[in-house]
């Protein structure tokens, strides 16, 4: 298991999608939300992603493919 702390920046079109829930169901990731701010036009989320290294890497790639900006803030998998 690895833990990766990231900042996720959401574009307007994704602020209403259940992205965190999809991380759990699609990638078996355990998210730990550390901070967030969401408005009608944008949002950001700081969270730790816990999971198998391959799953965390796949989840980050999936987030980026959705148009979410992922900034790695720290953790085991950098």
Q: Are 1 and 49 in contact (CB under 8 A)?
A: no
Query: What is residue 11's predicted lDDT score, i.e. its pLDDT?
Result: 87
Per-residue pLDDT band for 77 (boundaries 50, 70, 90) equals low
Domain limits of the chain? Answer: 2-75
Superfamily classification of domain 2-75: ACT domain (3.30.70.260)
Residue 14 zone, left/alpha/beta (φ > 0; ψ -120 to 50; rest): alpha
pLDDT in tens, 43-65: 999 999 999 999 999 999 999 99
Indicate the pTM of the whole model.
0.88
């Amino acid at each position: 298991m690895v833990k990766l702390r990231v900042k996720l920046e959401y574009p307007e079109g994704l602020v209403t999608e259940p992205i965190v829930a999809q991380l759990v169901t699609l990638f078996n990731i355990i998210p730990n939300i550390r901070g967030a701010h969401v408005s009608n036009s944008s949002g950001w989320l700081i969270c730790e992603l816990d999971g198998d290294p391959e799953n965390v890497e796949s989840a980050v790639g999936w987030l980026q493919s959705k148009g979410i900006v992922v900034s790695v803030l720290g953790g085991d998998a950098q």
